[in-house]
Amino acid sequence: MTSGTEPSIASQIADFGRNVIALAQSEQKTNAVPPKLVAIKDLPVYNESARLTDYKFVEKEKLPLESEFTTIRYAILDGYDVFASRFQVVDRALTKAKNVAIATDDYVRNEWTVLPKAAAITIGGMAGFVLGLKRYGIRKFVYAAGGLTTMAAFCYPHETVDFSRCVIAHAKRSYADFQKSPETPKK
């Protein structure tokens, strides 16, 4: 969409090419620049004419009750420091217990040992059985099976994923076969 006064894009490209070739072939070692071209050092990178305004620091006025809340906050912080120093022993014990639990988890998950995994699965089953003691009927067995299944999934995560994918594939196939089943003939 060019108007009659603007040169076409092809002529602009040709003029640009001629200017570049003329610049490249100039044998002068000075900073001679052909017309319509500007040297990089002459480009206005930053507007130096605009003067930066000087800002003056204005202190914020305190809100009502701000100093009282500050005092209370510092008092609570000091009290917490005293409390934390007294219970540092408990914190160290909890940290050690957490580290032992993490190490046990890594040992059970990553090592190829059967006995710790079997013990963990058995404990899970017994925990489910104990939780289901007050239940009646099939619930006892559902709780025990849930405990066993949860611990087995915990001890064998990769096998659990493979088994779950296999179960999902069989369920999809069975549902597809169910949908394709023929209608029963009428008598």
List, for residues 160-179, the tens digit of each pLDDT value. Answer: 899 999 999 999 999 998 88
Q: Supply the pLDDT for residue 32.
A: 56
Burial class (CB in 10 A: 0-12, 13-18, 19+), 60: exposed
Q: Which two tokens stand for residue 123?
A: 């404990």
Domain residues of the chain, as ranges?
A: 64-111, 112-178
First to last CA, the chain: 80
Quick one: which of 99, 98, 116 has its CA closest to 107?
116
Q: Supply the pLDDT for residue 96.
A: 93
More confident residue, 1 or 122: 122
Confidence of residue 29 (pLDDT cuts 50, 70, 90): very low
Q: Which of 22-31, 52-61, 115-124 is predicted least confidently?
A: 22-31
Q: Per-residue pLDDT for 76 more than 80?
A: yes
The pTM of the full predicted model, rounded to 2 decimals, is 0.37
Q: Please report, rounded to a whole number, the percentage of residues in the chain having pLDDT higher than 70.
A: 87
CB atoms near residue 143 (< 10 Å):
20
Residue carrying the six token digits 């032992």:
100
More confident residue, 70 or 43: 70
Helix (H, G, I), strand (E, B) or coil at 27: coil
Q: Per-residue pLDDT for 27 more than 70?
A: no
What CA–CA distance (Å, rounded) separates 106 from 96? 15
Mean pLDDT along residues 18-45: 68
Mean pLDDT of the chain: 81
Q: Are 124 and 148 in contact (CB under 8 A)?
A: yes
Q: Supply the pLDDT for residue 93.
A: 87
Q: Per-residue pLDDT for 47 more than 90?
A: no
Q: Which of 10-19, 24-33, 83-92 is predicted least confidently?
A: 24-33
Mean pLDDT along residues 43-57: 70
